[in-house]
């Protein structure tokens, strides 16, 4: 009987943990084409970006996927780790940027939520997006559902105060 109560308690704790993980990105509503809707930048991220002198509009180059350096690259819906190629404010390259990819629309949408300084320390909350001009984050026609083939393995990362 004690074992069953313990097992039930463990299952409840696991379910609660999974629910919290799912709701951190679950708050992002999706548009009909599968792209993410508007999302506010947290106050914590705004403060961290201010301290690191990463102001709205500041930009740098990133390697989109830390695991793929040659073009074309394949991205999947879900978490992403990118590598900063240039310094961004006080964040020195090759810091890691952690975010999320959505491949539902005609273009890939990448939002970054955290940065890991190269010299260690804790992850820092941020708000940034990946962009390239002239539709260069547009998926190649041979992309399958849930994936995106891109011509370039690099993109610009731009600091934002909210996601639109």
Output the pLDDT for position 22: 35
Cβ-based neighbours of 75, under 8 Å, separated by 6 or more? 64, 65, 101, 103, 108, 147, 148, 150
Output the pLDDT for position 25: 55
pLDDT of 10 higher than 50:
no
pTM confidence score: 0.82
- Rounded Cα distance between 64 and 18, Å, is 27
User: How high does pLDDT run on average in the chain?
Assistant: 85
pLDDT of 70 higher than 60:
yes
Output the pLDDT for position 71: 86
Output the pLDDT for position 26: 54
Output the pLDDT for position 27: 76
Contact 108, 102 (CB under 8 A): yes
Element (H, E) at 120: none
All domains of the chain in start order, with CATH? 31-163 (2.40.128)
Closest CA to 47 of 124, 120, 119: 124
Contact 128, 159 (CB under 8 A): yes
Cβ-based neighbours of 80, under 8 Å, separated by 6 or more? 64, 65, 98, 99, 100, 101, 110
In sign, the C-alpha dihedral spanning 31, 68, 121, 115 is negative
Q: How far is CA 13 from the centre of its chain?
A: 27
Least confident among 15-19, 42-46, 135-139, 152-156: 15-19
pLDDT, tens only, 73-92: 999 999 999 999 999 999 99
pLDDT of 94 higher than 60:
yes
Contact 130, 73 (CB under 8 A): no
């Amino acid at each position: 009987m004690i074992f069953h109560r313990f097992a039930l308690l463990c299952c409840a704790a696991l379910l609660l943990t999974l629910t919290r993980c799912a709701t951190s990105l679950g708050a992002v509503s999706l548009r009909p084409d599968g792209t993410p809707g508007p999302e506010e930048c947290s106050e914590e991220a705004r403060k961290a970006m201010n301290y690191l002198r990463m102001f709205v509009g500041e930009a740098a180059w990133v390697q989109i996927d830390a695991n793929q350096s040659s073009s074309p690259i394949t991205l999947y819906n879900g978490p992403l780790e990118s590598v900063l190629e240039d310094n961004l404010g006080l964040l020195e390259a090759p810091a890691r940027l952690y975010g999320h990819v959505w491949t539902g629309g005609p273009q890939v949408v990448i939002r970054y939520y955290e940065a890991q300084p190269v010299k260690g320390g804790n992850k820092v909350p941020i708000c940034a997006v990946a962009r390239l001009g002239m539709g260069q984050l547009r998926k190649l026609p041979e992309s399958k559902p849930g994936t995106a083939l891109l011509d370039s393995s690099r993109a610009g990362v731009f600091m934002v105060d909210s996601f639109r």
